[in-house]
Structure 1
Amino acid sequence: MSLTIRYDSRHAARINQDIGLLALPAASRKRIFNHAGRAYLKASRENIRQQRTIYGNPFEKRKYGKGKLLKNMGRSLKFFSTPNYVKVTWPNKSVAKLGYKHQFGIDEVMTAARMVKIHGQPDYEANATKKQAKALLEAGFTISTGKTFKSGPNKGKTRRKRPSQRWIMENMKLGQAGLIIRTLRNNTNPPKSWKIPVPERPFLGMAGGDATQILTREIEQERQRRAR
């Protein structure tokens, strides 16, 4: 059995890194990944703070709401290093799962029960929300004007008009608005679960070239340290 390494100039830096790491003892490799991990952690936290990807592009915004994405998640972000790798993640599995979804753009699966757990039981007697008012108008909701057509093909029929969002919020209940929205959308039997698209927002670590430079620097510094 023989081992063959095929050289490809496109991956020269990575090959040199691997060879450099393999030539070092476990303690040195652990130290290299430990130092690199600090740099990756710092970059990841800064990406969250600046709301940008590892490529410097701004995060794709929420479909609803204006709050910051991944808020406060940078604080609990940690790195773990071994002689063979470094990993930037969260100790809490639920937080790590959320970060994973944003990093790679994994859709969020939502259910009615989970919505209640997150937001609490809705008060169906409360006034309709602005979001509901907008949805009603987009679905073609109208109200009676109290007047009828005096002539023409619609003679005797009630005139209708498009209300304002403010009128809906002041005159309709949350539960009533929800039912009418589903009816207008022909969705009187809502699904038990649905997917919420999550755009890909890679923020952990650095872009390939930057990450390679950090690791190469740490390997060289470790070599100099051992040569003293």
Structure 2
Amino acid sequence: MTLIIKPNKSQVLSASQQLSLLRLPANKRTRILKTLGRYERTLARKRISSQTTVDGRRFAKSKSGKKSRLLQRLGRTLEPYVKNANRLELKHKAPMTGRIAALHQKGGIERMTAARMNRIHGQPDYKAPASRSQAKALVANGYQVRKAKGGLRRATIREVMETLTHGKAGLILSKLRGKQKKQSWPIPVAARPFLGDKADNVQRQLAGIIEQINKTQRG
């Protein structure tokens, strides 16, 4: 979110407040904007906590079907920054986190790679027993084993988990599906705008901060 302060007749700030703000030394304007930034950060974190967008709608559900809360880490690392004493930005220190936040804010396509999956989830232990999800997928795709008296029959989930390794199960599943192992693939990301605010609300809050400072100075 970016805020640029300029006198504007449609703003909530009165003309005297606008002029008073613009006359302030740069360090005081910076302090005012940082106070506003902390307020906007609190709003963003509340939206993430309630899983709602700026306009009050529920976040789009995760494609994976998981019911865990979304964007939790993005709220924790959000910080207010002030540029040239007249521009407020809420952003993340880490550029990668900022790119992820922007993707979720606006929606788009994320490119996932096998190498990145390994960094996120760790390198799979290909010698470990096949997982239950692999076994279920193999059975669903028609994986067969030999009968004691000859011929083939469909394997059970238990048989797959007891006889195949994680690596071998993955290779067999790829062959049954007729697919080669992908090195990269697109993941659609739904827009979940949690940053931003209505202009009148921003200006109203700014007016309140200025008034509070004036009261302190008068006291």
Q: If the TM-score is normalised by the length of the shorter chain, which range does it land in?
A: 0.7 to 0.9
Paired-residue identity, % = 35
What root-mean-square deviation, in Å, do the aligned CA atoms of Structure 1 and Structure 2 show? 3.4
Q: Secondary structure at the match of 1:80?
A: strand
* Correspondence 1:81 to 2:85: no
Quote the offset at 1:16 in angstroms. Answer: 0.9
Q: Which residue of 2 aligns with 1:160?
A: 153
Structure 1: runs of 5+ lacking an equivalent: 1-13, 149-156
After superposition, the Cα gap between the structure-2 partners of 1:221 and 1:198, relative to the gap in structure 1 and judged at 3 Å, is closer
Q: Which residue identity lines up with residue 116 of structure 1 in the other structure?
A: N
Q: Deviations over 1:77-132 (max 9, x none)?
A: 11123443321111122222221221122322222222222222221111222332
Quote the offset at 1:22 in angstroms. Answer: 6.4
Q: Which residue identity lines up with residue 58 of structure 1 in the other structure?
A: R
In 1, Cα distance between equivalents of 2:131 and 2:57: 33
In 2, Cα distance between equivalents of 1:196 and 1:222: 45
Q: Which residue of 2 aligns with 1:146?
A: 147
After superposition, the Cα gap between the structure-2 partners of 1:223 and 1:105, relative to the gap in structure 1 and judged at 3 Å, is same
Check the 8 A contact 2:134/2:170 in 1, yes or no.
Answer: yes
Quote the offset at 1:39 in angstroms. Answer: 1.9
* Correspondence 1:131 to 2:133: yes
Q: Which residue identity lines up with residue 167 of structure 2 in the other structure?
A: G
In 2, Cα distance between equivalents of 1:124 and 1:44: 41
Please show how residues 1-228 of structure 1 align to structure 2 within 5 Å.
Answer: 16-17=10-11, 23=19, 24-25=21-22, 27=24, 30=30, 33-64=33-64, 65-82=66-83, 83-138=85-140, 140-144=141-145, 146=147, 158-161=151-154, 163-188=155-180, 190-206=181-197, 208=198, 211-219=199-207, 222=210, 225=214
In 1, Cα distance between equivalents of 2:129 and 2:9: 63
What TM-score does the superposition give when structure 1 sets the normalisation length? 0.70
In 1, Cα distance between equivalents of 2:95 and 2:117: 20
Structure 2: runs of 5+ lacking an equivalent: 1-7
Q: Which residue identity lines up with residue 174 of structure 1 in the other structure?
A: H
Q: Which residue identity lines up with residue 25 of structure 1 in the other structure?
A: L
Q: Which residue identity lines up with residue 50 of structure 1 in the other structure?
A: S
What TM-score does the superposition give when structure 2 sets the normalisation length? 0.72
Q: Which residue identity lines up with residue 63 of structure 2 in the other structure?
A: K
Q: Which residue of 2 aligns with 1:6?
A: none
Check the 8 A contact 2:12/2:204 in 1, yes or no.
Answer: no
Quick check: 171-180 or 105-114, which moved more? 105-114
After superposition, the Cα gap between the structure-2 partners of 1:121 and 1:34, relative to the gap in structure 1 and judged at 3 Å, is closer
Q: Which residue of 2 aligns with 1:10?
A: none
Q: Which residue identity lines up with residue 198 of structure 1 in the other structure?
A: V
In 2, Cα distance between equivalents of 1:104 and 1:134: 36
Check the 8 A contact 1:76/1:90 in 2, yes or no.
Answer: yes
Check the 8 A contact 1:111/1:192 in 2, yes or no.
Answer: yes
In 2, Cα distance between equivalents of 1:203 and 1:58: 11
In 2, Cα distance between equivalents of 1:26 and 1:167: 78
Q: Which residue of 1 aligns with 2:3?
A: none
After superposition, the Cα gap between the structure-2 partners of 1:142 and 1:18, relative to the gap in structure 1 and judged at 3 Å, is same
